[in-house]
Structure 1
Amino acid sequence: MDSLQRPVTTGVSFGLVSGVITTLGLMSGLYGGTHSVKVVVGGVITIAVADAMSDALGIHVSEESRNVNTPGQIWMATLTTFVTKFLVALSFLVPLLMLELSVAIIVSIAWGIGIISLLSYRVARRQGISPGIAIAEHISLTIAVVVLTGFLGEWVGAEFQ
């Protein structure tokens, strides 16, 4: 295995999952609480920058703490985490800027579930386990985040008018 393949795989996998889950959770909560395109778009842009940097630092420290990687491998995992999370989060702007907000939320959920499904399939195949089980597990968790944050957003919107 190439010495940079594992750090790249780590960064891309983590960035994809975190990019989908946190962005959809944020969008669902902000939509539930405000129904404002401006607020949801602002939230997505903010999370693309702040959370991508936070996740990249988290991966960086995690990889350093393992004490098995070279500095180059650590920085490769850090960089790929940031770039992947940043781009995935920003990809959710496309439906937000092109569609009516309620439709954009549905399209975004479908987009996110598609990303999670493809990644889950790839990981399951590499591990020799059933892709169906992995996909169902990961989609269930994704949907749970969307539903929970949607309810929380509605509660906040009703409670703090």
Structure 2
Amino acid sequence: MNVSILKGISFGFTSSIITALGMMVGIYVSTGSQIAVIGSIFLIAVADSLSDSLGIHISEESDKTKPHSQVWESTFATFLSKFFLTCTFLIPIFFLSLQDAIIAGSIWGIIILSALSYFIAKTKKENPAQVIGEHLLIATIVIIASYFIGVWVAATFN
């Protein structure tokens, strides 16, 4: 696979998982509102995907050795991968209770992040367990922080 596309997909998937899970948990804990969680996921899918793709675009453009075509490949790969993966977090919300959907979404995110981390580790000939563990630890920290921010928001503004 083209390095520029792989970079965009890797960034888009990782950002999608971390952002979606953080928002889902934080919004759920602070509001308990299904519509707020759905709205936040749609906003991530559109606004944050566009923002991240612009960020990767500018980052790639700052590399003077990158051909313009590779800059755009990373840009589109980031947007499309983040947009579509983020939308998958909506599926459990439409079919399960909100609490169960948050759990299902978390499991889904962990599976995708683990698979991506495994692929990266194998590509770089590194220990998959170490790479997966590192990435899951960071994701867990984000989710826990989002949980406590949600608790604080609910306690402070309710």
Q: Give the TM-score range, shorter chain.
A: over 0.9
Offset of residue 70 of structure 1: 1.2
Poorly superposed stretches of 4+, deviation over 4 Å: none
Query: Which residue does 1:111 correspond to in 2?
Result: 108
Q: 2:19, 2:65 → 1: CA distance?
A: 29
Tell me which residue corresponds to 1:27.
Answer: 24
Question: What does residue 69 of structure 2 align with?
Answer: 72
State the aligned residue count: 158
1:66 counterpart SS class: coil
Q: State the partner residue of 2:55.
A: 58
| Aligned-residue CA RMSD (Å) | 0.8
Where structure 2 has 5 or more consecutive residues not aligned to the other structure, the ranges are none
Matching residue within 2, 19, 35 for 1:38: 35
User: CA-to-partner distance for each residue in 1:65-84, whole Å, 9 max, x for gaps?
Assistant: 01111111111100010000
Percentage of pairs with the same residue: 42
Separation in 1, partners of 2:105, 2:64 = 38
Which of 3, 9, 12 is 2:9 aligned to? 12
Residue 88 (str. 1) matches residue 85 (str. 2): yes
Give the TM-score, by structure 2 length. Answer: 0.98
Q: Which residue number corresponds to residue 157 of structure 1?
A: 154
Q: CA deviation at 1:88?
A: 1.0
String of CA shifts for 1:121-157, please: whole Å, max 9, x gaps. Answer: 0000111110001111111111111111011011101
**How many Å separate the matches in 1 of 2:140 and 2:106?**
8
What do the CA deviations read for 1:33-67 (whole angstroms, capped 9, x no partner)? 00110000000001110100000000000000011
Aligned mates of 1:87, 1:45 — CA distance in 2: 11
Mapped to 1, the partners of 2:150 and 2:55 lie a distance apart of 27
Tell me the TM-score normalised to structure 1 length.
0.96
In 1, distance between residues paired with 2:124 and 2:77?
22
